[in-house]
Amino acid sequence: AQSVTQLGSHVSVSEGALVLLRCNYSSSVPPYLFWYVQYPNQGLQLLLKYTSAATLVKGINGFEAEFKKSETSFHLTKPSAHMSDAAEYFCAVSPEGAQKLVFGQGTRLTINP
């Protein structure tokens, strides 16, 4: 079964610093990959998705992610962190032929002033 692993349950960066959230997937075929963000007491909001059109995917709020097949990775980055980026981030895979999302455990991002 396809799955995703998010390395680091908690990441802390300073305001203005680079944000890097790691996600690795297990799949024998190119999957469809997503990053979602969850603010406290809210549902999930889509940041970006990879559907094989381009390996570098740009999303909302200045986030982007790069699909690297050789590394089976889909890491999320943002050049300069803002206080409003503090939230829980989830990587998810949608297996081809399946009607569902499989989520990672999540990474809590904390921004230090």
Asked if 44 contacts 36 with a C-beta cutoff of 8 angstroms, the reply is yes
Determine if 95 is a binding residue for another protein (CB under 8 A): yes
Length of the chain: 113
Determine if 61 is a binding residue for another protein (CB under 8 A): no
Side-chain-side CA neighbours of residue 47 (13 Å): 27
Which position among 27, 49, 59, 86 is part of the footprint of another protein (CB under 8 A)?
A: 49
Determine if 94 is a binding residue for another protein (CB under 8 A): yes
d(CA 48, CA 50): 7
Determine if 72 is a binding residue for another protein (CB under 8 A): no
Asked if 31 contacts 46 with a C-beta cutoff of 8 angstroms, the reply is no
To another protein, the closest distance from the beta carbon of 21 in angstroms equals: 13
Structure tokens at 101: 């999302």
Determine if 42 is a binding residue for another protein (CB under 8 A): yes
Determine if 3 is a binding residue for another protein (CB under 8 A): no
Residues at the contact surface with another protein, assessed by CB under 8 A:
32, 34, 36, 41-46, 49, 51, 90, 92, 94-106
